[in-house]
Amino acid sequence: MLYMDYAATSPLYEEVIQTIAEVMRTHYGNPSSIHRLGVEAEKLVQTAKGVIATAIGVSANEIICTSGGTESNNLAIKGVAYGYQHRGKHLITTQVEHASVKEVFAQLAQEGFRVTYLPVSSTGRVQLEDLRAAICEDTTLVSIMYVNNEMGAIQPIQEIGQLLMAYPKIIFHVDAIQGIVKLPLQPKAWGIDLCSASAHKFRGPKGAGFLYRRAGINLQPLLAGGGQEYGVRSGTENVPLIVGMAKALRMSMDNQMDKMAHSYRLRQRLVSGIAAMPELVVTGAHQDHEAAPHIVHFIFAGMKAEVVVHALEQKGVYISTRSACTSGESEPSEVMLALGASREMAMSGLRVSFSADHQEQEIEQFISALQNVVRDLAPLRNQPVVRKEKRV
């Protein structure tokens, strides 16, 4: 089996599995309890937060543990929108956000908030001029993802943070779920106020995530209850998964720059192998500083993406058509449409995502499997709709 769908989810480190099992077995106390078992569990939570905070250069009391990326994004966006609506009701995001952001803004728009959706370039990047032009007197929140989950485009987060420093009343949220670990991330230095992450994207457990909240930012809680997590996220902390998340993050961050360089080398070989097939078109940015090291997106024009996915599956190779959260939809990719692709092209997108643990021979194995699938399916496709030299 060759699993290359790491942007959807990733296998847990064996050490993380063992740690979670041990905490489940031994430290089952409620962190809010005042007896010894409770105190020990609370210490584990605080230690885990310290590990997470150190990894991204923030303070432990700025880490809020959640159930994952969707909750982190909901808490950040709704928490600011509701908590600061006395300042204004204008919000800014982009046309290419993950569903856990896009759908939140759609809900807020129905409740009377004004939402500006920034366009992106043909490579999927936001332009600073568009953001500057969109800012109004009553803007309270800018929410922009670090790495697009479908195309792998890197947004200019550092530059956006610098721009927003001139607007101290605007809160800057970054969905870093696909970017953390894979790329450098410095929330404080980059002017980020809120930052979302999900453990299962970096070989941690599903059901665990965190939200970095800069000290001084007030969020309106989404859940009422016992007031855990500084009163922002009520509910008994999931101690085993929080500890497992911290361990996975620490392990993933070891030798981060070496892993990033290795991943970019794999990406370059993968891109060249795909680009060599006349039937396929690699999409998005080709420059390393604009494309994430672990995601490659391409189009097999005239062929439904799910047909390719299942043909590769027959050969033991696993990839995605787009975000795992939307891969079951029959509609074209909204991300591709935002990049200017036709409806037909937006139905034919495929995403390959891998880890720094992959090696060159596995990339060669994937290219060989893809060549065989393309050869078998090419006669069955509709008329090609994309010239080879065209970029989308």
> Any idea which residues carry the catalytic annotation?
325
Contact 240, 74 (CB under 8 A): no
Burial of 214 (0-12, 13-18, 19+ CB in 10 A): middle
> Which alpha helices (H) appear in the chain, and where do they start and end?
14-26, 36-56, 69-83, 99-110, 128-134, 157-164, 239-253, 256-275, 305-313, 334-338, 343-346, 360-377
Write the single-letter amino acid at 96: V
Nearest of 151, 162, 154, 160 to residue 180 by alpha carbon: 154
Cα 225–chain centre separation: 29
Residues 6 or more apart whose CB falls under 8 angstroms from that of 30 comprise 37, 38, 41, 236
Nearest of 305, 270, 362, 248 to residue 12 by alpha carbon: 248
Return contacts of 14-22, CB within 8 angstroms, 24+ apart.
15/247, 15/251, 16/203, 16/204, 16/205, 16/244, 16/247, 16/248, 16/251, 17/244, 19/240, 19/243, 19/244, 19/247, 20/205, 20/240, 20/241, 20/243, 20/244, 21/240
Angle (CA) 161 162 168, round 5°:
75
**Locus of tokens 């994952």:** 68
> What region does 332 belong to: left with phi over 0, alpha with psi -120 to 50, or beta?
beta
